[in-house]
Structure 1
Amino acid sequence: MIRKASIMKVYREHHEEYRRRHDELWPEMEQMLKEHGMLSYSIFLDTDTDTLFAYLEIEDEELWAKSADTETCRKWWDYMQDIMETNPDHSPVSQELKEVFHLEK
């Protein structure tokens, strides 16, 4: 299992809309994530800074990287681009974080 973390930004006035859209995650998006090796995915919001912290557990980096090229992922990016910081292709502006500590039971 591979742990990944990143940060993104959601526009302050859209915190609730961001939550609503994820509460109503498309079934095809969930299926695509699972097909590309997602084991667990959590997103947390710092309401003071509008920063989203995403934590993801995946099976394989190469398989996961292919998820960005799917039609479902591209449609999701288009759907989300009006409520968060995005790149010209509508992918979220995201900064991958480097793991510096991990502890398990």
Structure 2
Amino acid sequence: MNALIDTASWILLAGGALLSVIGGIGMLRMPDFYTRMHAASVTDTGGMILMLAGLMLQAGLTLVTAKLVFVMLFLLITSPTATHALARAALEDGIEPQVDHDKR
């Protein structure tokens, strides 16, 4: 049973790390500010959820797991809120989204 939990935990940790790396690559490859920000925020939140879930499996039912749950809830609230605030500030500052007229 312990080997099964360890395997599941490492799969979640590796998946979260991979998602975070994909988000970093997306930030480099996307054409404008808004798509870069979207790539970073979505993969950041998903990677965080997977990595914290893997850590929770490693910790078992302890006080550490409860603390990780609170960290996850805090990040699930603050990360999208910060992304929204950043996008709104950029739009109010005059940074326009790039529009591809060929696909309209």
TM-score range, shorter chain: under 0.3
Highest Rg: 1 or 2? 2
When the two structures are superposed, what TM-score results if normalisation uses the length of structure 1? 0.27
Where relative contact order (Cα < 8 A, 6+ residues apart) is larger, the structure is 1
Q: Which has the higher strand share?
A: 1
Greater share of residues in helix:
2
Q: TM-score, normalised by structure 2?
A: 0.28
